[in-house]
Structure 1
Amino acid sequence: MQGDVFQADEHGPAEQPGERLLLDLDGFEGPLDVLLALAREQKVDLAKLSILKLADQYLEFVARVRQHHLDLAAEYLVMAAWLAYLKSRLLLPEPEPEPGEQPTAAEMAEILAFRLRRLEAMQSAGTALMVRPQLGRHFFARGEPEGIVVVTRSLYDVQLFDLLKAYADHVVRTSVRTLHIEAPDLYSVEDALRRLERMLGRMPDWSVLSSYLPAILGDPLKMKSAIASTFIAALELAKQGRVQLRQDGGPYSPIYIKAGGVAA
């Protein structure tokens, strides 16, 4: 307990090494600690403690200490005054209770006994903790900690549908690719038109249009595009009046071309 008090015992005056000293009355930490020590001297259970006897012992303790030191700490004196008041209430008959009044003397005595039991439990717990073996004093840690072996086992609880769905998801994720389509090498209408225009002056009288196809070998797709482009180019020249076209038979019969004139 800190305060402008002294360090006292029963054998002589106190020394004052500073302005604020620590009060230590026979090793007690406060008035409640003194009460607990006096209660233990009764050698009875704290639940069956005699508050009257305890109050007399505490008042006797305070009077004995004040014979040597008049400047007793205020907390001890307040506790002494409160115990004297409690003792008087316990000795006198209790008046009729009225609403809003203070607790009765029996209730105040029970509260004091409860606080003493709680203090005793706290001191017992603290003592039990302090007597436990301490690291670095009673036992020591190993220099090198042992490694921990971790064993992992995978457990799968799935149905056939789950397996099929997982496989399908994997296939979808891994099969997504970018499709690159290369431009085909086709014979354009412009190429066919230029070819026919170059041959206008050399065209004999009526000749088969297929004879003006370019020589394309080994590429069926390009050959098909050449046939279509040449036919479209011939239609365009016929529209311009630069060539004549005729087809003597029915569908799919040969188409003939001739330079100049009106289409037959």
Structure 2
Amino acid sequence: MTSAPTDWFDAPAPPAADDVMYVDVDGYEGPLDLLLDLARRQKVDLAAISILALAEQYLAFIETVREQRIEVAADYLVMAAWLAYLKSRLMVPQAPNDDEPSGEMLAAMLQFRLKRLEAMRRAASQLMNRPRLDFQVYARGAPEPIEIARNNIWEASLFDLLKAYATNRERGISTDYSPLLRTVWSLQDARDILQRLIGDSFDWVPMDSYLAQYLTTPGERATVRASSFASSLELVRQGKIDLRQTEVFGPLFMRRSKSDPR
């Protein structure tokens, strides 16, 4: 088994920094810049320059550069090819069935681009040559500002501190208030319930025994006892039930009054 040559897999080494060529055609920034400089040398208005003479000057310049440097920037070569095409369109009459733009139209487009580049260069030059502040032009001297030194002195009593603390606490408290709804027995409801619970019984029974099923929650316990006690006094006045209490703070016993005819 033979091994493959190593040079098949080795990639070519990158060129050294000294071997890299940088194209600089007499300091021009591009082919249109070169065309503008050649047009200026005719010393006529850009709208009246000779496009044929301009194309011949450009092609001659590129040919001179190529004799010194074989590799010229692609933009310059593309412009040279386009100018050669323009020169041929200007020299050869246009056929009737030719849909391509005429040489005069191409020349007018080139003149417009050169005039626009000239206007841009003139505007840039005017902007760069304007007097600059603090270099060629100096502003009027402004008065020195008055420097004010402030020292804050905080003076507060204990009452002020407590008031500020309370105000800060009140900011985080919700202002929505929902009152607690309590279940309240009316006297009429308590009277009807007592009469129904006592019924026809003549035995002494504590009031809490009758109301045991209604004393389940602390919220209802107070209103049930208060309304039932007030209703029982009214029933005693009417002679419907009897009340008895055998000791101080002892339970209240009640029964149906024997004098109640029913």
TM-score normalised by L of structure 1: 0.46
